[in-house]
Amino acid sequence: MDLNLKGKVAVITAASKGIGKSIAEGLLNEGVKVLISSSNRENLRQLDAEFSEKGFTGYSLEVCDLNLKSDIERLFAKAILEFDTVDILINNCGGPKAGAPSSMNDSDWQKGYEHTLLSAVLLTSLAVEEMKKNKWGRIINITSLSVKQPIDNLTLSNAFRSALTAYAKTLSLEVGQYNITVNNIMPGYTLTERLDHLAAIKADERGIDKAEILREMAENVPLKRLGKPEEIANITVFLCSDAAAYINGTSIPADGGLIKTI
Ligand code: NAD
């Protein structure tokens, strides 16, 4: 299937590692020009070395801490300066702090809000203006299966990703007339540093090995395995394409069947 994405311009956040990095790679494989950002300069440097080694061109890198509005504005300005426009926006973020509702203080809530919800809203508002001019756009938020089935102990993720999903739906009602689609992807257990970190927390709590926690997670998935970051990237790249032009205002799970809803 020709995805017809060659020459499009994408901006992706929190993409030096894990799911974001795989999505950047997937888009580059389709000939998309990608502005890749992350809060961590050293991680970006390592990514640059790896992508150069793989022979990728047509990408640019920018440090962007999603908790800083000034960084978000600078990221968008760089996209315009280097690539003239933005056709595709992938709102990814680092996972917000884990913990039970009773363990969260005001500052945790504020940081979680800025990182998980406000950053996506700010960047989306900037990108939409470009997409309207182009009469074409794709906005994709990487959320979580927690939107359909809240996960124990992930208070901030559960709360703010649901809010982001409601914002995305509302936005899709406004911008569909400009041929802009807005969708969310809900990863299930996907083997990245984030999942490893969450497994380590659970392992500590239960006094067992992290490998045992990861094995239990995999056992809960109908496909009996954890997801790979490239499996989230594949559906994301498809949603960016013209082949997915009539998919709008929805959330798509990529979870091996883990969510127990019909
Ligand atoms: P990861 O921890 O492997 O990678 C996160 C990326 O975010 C890194 O590149 C990191 O540098 C960047 N980052 C962290 N804080 C940042 C900040 N303040 N500003 C900008 N960038 C920042 O995570 P992942 O597993 O790839 O997950 C990506 C997203 O998907 C997360 O929001 C996560 O909660 C969500 N998710 C992951 C899973 C999973 O099983 N891995 C499941 C559901 C949802």
On whether the CB atoms of residues 137 and 181 are closer than 8 A, the answer is yes
Please tell me the total count of domains within the chain. 1
The pLDDT of residue 1 is 80
Distances (CA, A) of 152 to 10, 137, 215, 226: 34, 35, 18, 18
Tell me, using a 6 A CB cutoff, whether residue 115 lines ligand 1. Answer: yes
Contact 16 CB / ligand 1 (< 6 Å): yes
> Is 55 contained in some domain?
yes
In a domain, 218, yes or no: no
Ligand 1 centre distance from Cα of residue 33 (Å): 22
pLDDT along the chain (262 residues), means of 10: 93 98 98 98 98 97 98 98 98 94 98 98 98 98 96 95 98 98 98 93 94 97 98 98 97 96 88
Burial class (CB in 10 A: 0-12, 13-18, 19+), 261: exposed
The closest of 81, 112, 92 to 39, measured between CA atoms, is 92
Q: Is 240 within the bounds of a domain?
A: yes
DSSP-based three-state secondary structure for 260: coil
The number of the ligand 1 atom at minimal distance from the alpha carbon of 197 is: 2
Ligand 1 centroid from CA 93, angstroms: 5
Question: Which of 13, 17, 19 most suits a substitution to test ligand 1, by most atoms within 8 Å of the C-beta?
Answer: 19
For residue 220, tell me if it sits in a domain: no
Distance between Cα 237 and ligand 1 center (Å): 18
Q: From ligand 1's centre to the CA of 247, what distance in Å? A: 25
Please state the atom number of ligand 1 nearest to the C-alpha of residue 227.
40
- Chain-centroid distance of CA 193 in Å reads 14
Taking CA atoms only, the protein residue closest to ligand 1 atom 23 is: 194
Answer yes or no: is 193 within a domain. no
Mutate to test the pocket of ligand 1, among 192, 214, 217, 228 (most ligand atoms within 8 A of CB): 192
Is residue 147 lining ligand 1, measured as CB closer than 6 Å?
no
Beta sheet of 180-187, edge-to-edge order:
59-63, 33-38, 9-12, 88-91, 137-142, 180-187, 251-254
215 falls within a domain: no
pTM: 0.97
Q: Which atom of ligand 1 is nearest to the CA of 188?
A: 42
Task: Give me the CATH number covering residue 46.
Answer: 3.40.50.720
Give the closest residue (by CA) to ligand 1 atom 44: 144
Ligand 1 atom closest to the CA of 43, numbered from 1: 11
Question: Is the residue at 199 inside a domain?
Answer: no
* Residue to substitute in 46, 51, 93 for testing ligand 1 pocket (most ligand atoms within 8 angstroms of CB): 93
**Structural domain that includes position 141:** 9-188+228-254
Residue 12: other Cβ atoms inside 10 A: 25
User: Does residue 237 belong to any structural domain of this protein?
Assistant: yes
